[in-house]
C-alpha cells in the first residue's frame, strides 16, 4: 500500500496541502488538481490508486468528474462535500463514489478511510473469483459480471461488491455495519444511508430475476433470498 499514488482534487489549495501532508507521512505519493477538467485528464492519462474529489470545483464539478470517470474506470473515489446534506451524499453515491466526507473533516479519518478502501482491494484473493449461481442470478467475480435471468446486467463497483457480499452470505441477515465492513472494508458507523442507497439500486438491477430478491429485515438489516 505504501507508495500508492493518490490524486487529491480541490480548488482550495490549503486543503490539498493539508491532505498531502498527512498522506505523505504515511508513505503515499500525492498528485493534485484544482479543477475538474484537469482532474479528469489526469485520471484518464495515468489512473491513480484512489481519488479524493471535492464536489464544488471550477470547470467541471465533482459530480460530473465522478460520472465521466465511472464510464471507463473503477478507481476508488472519496467525495468531499461542504454541505452536510443527504442530497449531495446520495447523488455522489448514485454516481459511483465509494465514500464521502463532509467538510471540515479530520485528515486522519480521511487517511484511515483511504487505507481501508485500498486494503479491501488488496484482500481480493484468487479463491474468491469462483462464480456464484443463485437461482437465475450468476455473479462472476473474476470478470466482475452479473447475469440476471439470462441477461448481462451492468453494475457499478460498489453495487457489484455488495451483491457479491449478499451472495456469499445468502439467507443470512446482515446488519448495515456488517455490510459496510464486508463490502466497503471498514466500519462506517453513523452512515448507514450509504448501504440503503446501494441496496435500493441493487434491487433495481436484479428486478428481472424471478427467484432472487433482497429482503429488508426490520430493525436489523438485509438478506438475500432465493
Strands of the sheet containing 29-33, edge to edge, are 29-33, 5-9, 50-54, 77-81, 99-102
The pLDDT, as a whole number, for residue 99 is 84
Q: Establish how many alpha carbons lie within 13 A of residue 160's alpha carbon, considering only the half-sphere containing its beta carbon.
A: 20
Q: Would you place residue 190 in the very low, low, confident or very high pLDDT band (cuts 50, 70, 90)?
A: very low
Strands of the sheet containing 221-225, edge to edge, are 174-175, 221-225, 213-217
Contact 31, 48 (CB under 8 A): yes
Top-confidence range, 53-57, 86-90, 122-126: 53-57
**Tens digits of per-residue pLDDT, 62-103?**
999 999 998 888 899 999 988 766 667 677 777 888 888 888
- Mean model confidence pLDDT for the chain: 87
What is the crossing angle of helices 193-205 and 157-168, to 10°? Answer: 90
Closest alpha carbon to 174 in 217, 222, 216, 213: 222
Cα 59 from Cα 35, distance rounded (Å): 6
Q: Would you place residue 189 in the very low, low, confident or very high pLDDT band (cuts 50, 70, 90)?
A: very low
Q: Which residues 6+ apart lie within 8 Å of 218 measured at CB? A: none
Q: Which residues 6+ apart lie within 8 Å of 87 measured at CB? A: none
Which domains can be identified in the chain, with CATH numbers? 5-122 (3.40.50.2300), 126-225 (1.10.10.10)
- Is it the case that residue 187 has pLDDT exceeding 70? no
**Tens digits of per-residue pLDDT, 128-163?**
568 889 999 999 988 889 999 999 998 888 889 899
The residue among 120 and 104 whose pLDDT is bigger is: 104
- Is it the case that residue 188 has pLDDT exceeding 70? no
Amino acid at each position: 500500500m505504501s507508495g500508492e499514488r493518490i490524486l487529491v482534487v480541490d480548488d482550495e489549495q490549503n486543503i490539498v496541502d493539508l491532505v498531502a501532508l498527512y498522506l505523505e507521512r504515511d508513505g503515499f505519493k500525492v498528485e493534485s488538481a484544482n479543477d475538474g477538467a484537469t482532474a479528469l485528464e489526469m485520471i484518464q492519462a495515468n489512473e491513480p490508486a484512489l481519488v479524493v474529489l471535492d464536489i464544488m470545483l471550477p470547470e467541471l464539478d465533482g459530480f460530473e468528474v465522478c460520472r465521466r470517470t465511472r464510464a471507463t474506470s473503477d478507481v476508488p473515489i472519496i467525495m468531499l462535500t461542504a454541505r452536510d446534506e443527504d442530497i449531495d451524499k446520495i447523488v455522489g453515491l448514485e454516481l459511483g463514489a465509494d465514500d464521502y466526507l463532509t467538510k471540515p473533516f479530520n485528515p486522519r479519518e480521511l487517511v484511515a478511510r483511504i487505507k481501508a478502501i485500498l486494503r479491501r482491494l488488496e484482500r481480493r484473493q484468487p479463491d474468491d473469483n469462483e462464480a456464484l449461481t443463485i437461482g437465475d442470478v450468476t455473479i462472476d467475480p473474476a470478470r466482475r459480471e452479473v447475469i440476471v435471468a439470462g441477461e448481462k446486467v451492468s453494475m457499478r463497483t460498489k453495487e457489484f461488491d455488495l451483491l457479491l457480499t449478499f451472495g456469499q452470505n445468502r439467507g443470512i441477515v446482515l446488519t448495515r455495519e456488517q455490510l459496510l465492513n464486508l463490502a466497503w472494508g471498514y466500519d462506517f458507523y453513523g452512515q448507514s444511508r450509504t448501504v440503503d442507497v446501494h441496496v435500493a439500486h441493487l434491487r433495481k438491477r436484479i428486478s428481472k430475476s424471478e427467484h432472487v430478491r433482497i429482503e429488508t429485515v426490520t430493525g436489523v438489516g438485509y438478506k438475500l433470498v432465493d
